[in-house]
């Protein structure tokens, strides 16, 4: 097996599926139905769309336990596994949470022509507009205490014109109907359905969804949950691997393509596979001319700002950083891959040691994603000094830390290549001061690390009392070229917030696609976003449920959250808070 692991995301090997590939006759038939219905979808009233979303919420809520059970079985987890919460949170709750936001956005469009922004809209000194989008509703202020999020707009958007950049496909005249092909991701169960919803309700396109072979086992459940869209012909689901994907991408009646996955797959779609595809890319001669969008990978960094951290601070942030890797066994495009530290910080080694302690106490997980063992071994071959935590076997991979990677080795695969497995690294930068370190860390992340999807920055409140450090952090947030920035909160959680955007920093052309060229989620339907920024206290209270330290309570908590999204009510909040605090 040959796996391209250098520079960018992996080129994943073919996966097997329990579902037979769709025949060309079946795929053609599905596309014919969508072509027939694409104009009807454009003309579907907002009132009817709200009704459809209500049906989706009810239908998916009813089968959520079966959805989770299927995911747990496929990933080799028991119902009482400490990792079962992953499937209830990002796999199930995230979808219902986004559906609730979509419903509210549609209600606002029906009333005023655009979704309502729940927080203030402000202008930065340089004229850039930013809108607070989270908390999205009053419940969120209790359920996500202290967490706030903004969407920063691209230059040229003003406070006065901001609403006109929202829900543009709902403005007159209506756009022509289109058929979109959505190529599903195989790692997180909610990605495919969320991508489908975005193409339908924000981009206003009917959808052919090709399930990823890795998690195609969910497709029968998805067809059941999305029957309100399938019955009138606005959605069709098909199966298959690369051969079927190639056929669909080149089909004359597919107008647009969206993929969540690898830049290698994106290139194969646009330019073709192998050496011929590489030659077309070099010659800037795409194989297809239709619009192709992607949410792709990242070598996701965490910038640690030096400060007067207590032992409790170090313990908390060690769990925080480890949790960013361990979630979903490391098969996330937003998983931390490089921890950036100040070489002269007196507590650098103490933090690393605590991270080692956290990893050493965590059970290993099944390496369920295709090619994981080969990717993992390639990193170990390049870094035999890597530290392994937990016992590996034919099915499991150890948690792995590669510490003190030389930051001057710009072509080190830890910096150029997304591991997409249970492994991350740490590097340290020289600097004469904390301010200089922050500036160098931003430059390193922007220029040396591959991708622009998401980055997390950790800064102690006492550090921010120094005006120079606070100003440097402010400049860092403005200068970082990433689609999501998390300040004291894992940037990857932007994926589940819904009202934030999820995707690369804008500006990648197809010849250097990196982390992609569009956003999804984005329930407020901004058409010109630049990036999302999350802000949280240095230590959140209660501890976020996705922390590994909260694994015991996470399944129970997110089951409650799923029931809450099915029918939100203040009467359900006390039980949720009780579970979050006491289990």
In a domain, 271, yes or no: yes
Query: What residues pair up with 366 in beta bridges, in sequence order?
Result: 396
SS3 for 264-277, per residue?
HHHHHHHHCCHHHH
In a domain, 403, yes or no: no
DSSP 148: E
* Rounded Cα–Cα distance for residues 438 and 460 (Å): 13
* Rounded Cα–Cα distance for residues 121 and 19 (Å): 48
With contact defined as beta carbons under 8 Å apart, do 387 and 402 qualify?
A: yes
In 3D space, the residue among 201, 196, 200, 323 whose CA is nearest the CA of residue 260 turns out to be 196
CA 72, distance to chain mean position in Å, is: 20
31-47 residue pLDDT tens = 999 999 999 999 999 99
* Rounded Cα–Cα distance for residues 133 and 128 (Å): 16
* Rounded Cα–Cα distance for residues 496 and 545 (Å): 13
User: What is the signed CA dihedral for 27, 32, 38, 39, rounded to 10 degrees?
Assistant: 180
Domain termination residue (choose one: 270, 295, 320) = 295
SS3 for 292-350, per residue?
EEEECCCCEEEEECCCCCCHHHHHHHHHHHHHHHHHHHHCCCCCEEEEEEECCCCCHHH
Quick one: pLDDT at residue 396? 95
With contact defined as beta carbons under 8 Å apart, do 195 and 221 qualify?
A: no
Quick one: pLDDT at residue 413? 97
* Rounded Cα–Cα distance for residues 100 and 562 (Å): 11
In a domain, 184, yes or no: yes
Which residue in the block uniquely carries the two structure tokens 């999204």? 565
In a domain, 56, yes or no: yes
Quick one: pLDDT at residue 13? 84
Q: Domain containing 68: what range?
A: 24-118+170-295
Name the stretches of the chain with pLDDT < 70: 1-6
Quick one: pLDDT at residue 6? 64
* Rounded Cα–Cα distance for residues 289 and 124 (Å): 38
In 3D space, the residue among 263, 422, 398 whose CA is nearest the CA of residue 336 turns out to be 422
Other CB atoms closer than 10 Å to residue 45's CB: what's the count? 9
SS3 542: coil
In a domain, 378, yes or no: no
CA 252, distance to chain mean position in Å, is: 30
Query: What residues pair up with 336 in beta bridges, in sequence order?
Result: 300
370-399 residue pLDDT tens = 999 999 999 999 999 999 999 878 899 999
SS3 446: helix
Residue 173: half-sphere exposure toward Cβ, Cα within 13 Å = 3
In a domain, 518, yes or no: no
* Rounded Cα–Cα distance for residues 159 and 180 (Å): 32
Domain termination residue (choose one: 295, 321, 341) = 295
Q: In this structure, what CATH number is given to the domain that contains residue 70?
A: 3.40.605.10
In a domain, 217, yes or no: yes
Over its C-alpha atoms, the chain yields an Rg (Å, rounded) of 23
> For 189-297, where are the alpha helices, taking DSSP H only?
191-197, 219-225, 227-230, 242-249, 263-271, 274-282
Quick one: pLDDT at residue 18? 83
Query: What H or E segment, with its residue span, contains residue 86?
Result: helix 85-88
Quick one: pLDDT at residue 5? 53
With contact defined as beta carbons under 8 Å apart, do 236 and 208 qualify?
A: yes
> For 89-217, where are the alpha helices, taking DSSP H only?
94-112, 138-143, 191-197
Quick one: pLDDT at residue 10? 83
Q: Into how many domains does the chain fold?
A: 2
pTM over 0.75: yes
Domain termination residue (choose one: 246, 270, 295) = 295
- What Å distances lie between residue 581 and 54, 90, 197, 511, 550, CA to CA? 31, 20, 33, 49, 10
Pairing mode of beta strands 206-210, 179-183: parallel
Tokens of 387: 């530290």
In a domain, 357, yes or no: no
> For 44-81, where are the alpha helices, taking DSSP H only?
46-74
């Amino acid at each position: 097996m040959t796996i391209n692991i250098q520079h960018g995301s992996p080129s994943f090997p073919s996966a097997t599926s329990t579902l037979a590939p769709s025949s060309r006759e079946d795929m053609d038939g599905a596309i014919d139905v969508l072509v027939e219905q694409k104009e009807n979808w454009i003309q579907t009233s907002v009132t009817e769309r709200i009704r459809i979303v209500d049906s989706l919420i009810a239908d998916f809520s009813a089968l959520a336990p079966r959805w989770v059970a299927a995911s747990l079985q496929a990933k080799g987890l028991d119902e009482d596994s400490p990792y079962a919460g992953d499937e209830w949170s990002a796999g199930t709750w995230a979808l219902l949470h986004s559906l609730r936001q979509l419903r509210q956005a549609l209600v606002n469009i029906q009333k005023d022509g655009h979704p309502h922004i729940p927080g203030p809209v402000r202008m930065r000194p340089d004229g850039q507009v930013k809108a607070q989008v989270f908390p999205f509703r009053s419940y969120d202020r209790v359920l996500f205490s202290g967490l706030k999020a903004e969407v920063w707009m691209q230059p040229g958007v003003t406070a006065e014109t901001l609403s006109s950049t929202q829900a543009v496909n709902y403005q007159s005249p209506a756009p022509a109907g289109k058929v979109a092909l959505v190529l599903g991701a195989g790692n997180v169960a909610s990605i495919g359905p969320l991508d489908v919803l975005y193409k339908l309700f924000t981009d206003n396109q009917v959808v052919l969804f090709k399930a990823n072979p890795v998690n195609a086992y969910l497709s029968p459940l998805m067809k059941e949950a999305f029957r309100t869209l399938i019955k009138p012909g606005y959605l069709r689901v098909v199966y298959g691997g690369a051969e079927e994907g190639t056929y669909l991408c080149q089909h004359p009646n597919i107008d647009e393509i969206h993929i969540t996955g690898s830049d290698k797959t994106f290139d194969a779609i646009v330019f073709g596979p192998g050496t011929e595809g590489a030659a077309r890319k070099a010659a800037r001669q795409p194989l297809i001319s239709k619009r192709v969008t992607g949410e792709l990978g990242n070598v996701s960094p965490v910038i640690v700002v030096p400060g007067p951290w207590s032992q409790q601070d170090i313990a908390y942030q060690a769990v925080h950083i480890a949790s960013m890797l361990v979630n979903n066994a490391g098969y996330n495009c937003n998983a931390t891959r490089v921890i950036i530290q100040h070489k002269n910080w007196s507590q650098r080694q103490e933090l690393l040691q605590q991270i080692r302690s956290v990893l050493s106490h965590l059970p290993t997980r099944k390496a369920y994603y295709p090619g994981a063992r080969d990717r993992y071994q390639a990193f170990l071959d390049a870094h035999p000094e890597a530290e392994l935590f937990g016992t590996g076997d034919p099915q499991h991979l150890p948690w792995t830390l590669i510490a003190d990677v030389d930051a001057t080795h710009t072509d080190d695969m830890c910096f150029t290549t997304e591991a997409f497995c249970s492994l991350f690294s740490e590097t340290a930068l020289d600097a004469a001061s904390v301010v200089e370190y922050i500036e160098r860390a931003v430059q390193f992340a922007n220029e040396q690390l591959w991708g622009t999807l998401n980055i997390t920055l950790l800064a102690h409140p006492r550090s921010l009392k120094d005006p120079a450090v606070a100003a440097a952090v402010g400049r860092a947030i403005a200068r970082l070229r990433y689609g999501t920035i998390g300040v004291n909160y894992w940037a990857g959680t932007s994926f589940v917030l819904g009202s934030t955007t999820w995707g690369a920093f804008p500006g990648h052309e197809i010849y250097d696609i990196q982390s992609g060229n569009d956003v999804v989620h984005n329930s407020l339907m901004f058409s010109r976003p630049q990036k999302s920024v999350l802000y949280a206290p240095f230590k959140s209270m209660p501890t976020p449920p996705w922390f590994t330290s909260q694994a015991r309570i996470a399944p129970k908590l997110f089951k409650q959250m799923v029931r809450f999204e099915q029918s939100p009510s203040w009467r359900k909040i006390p039980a949720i808070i009780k579970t979050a605090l006491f289990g």
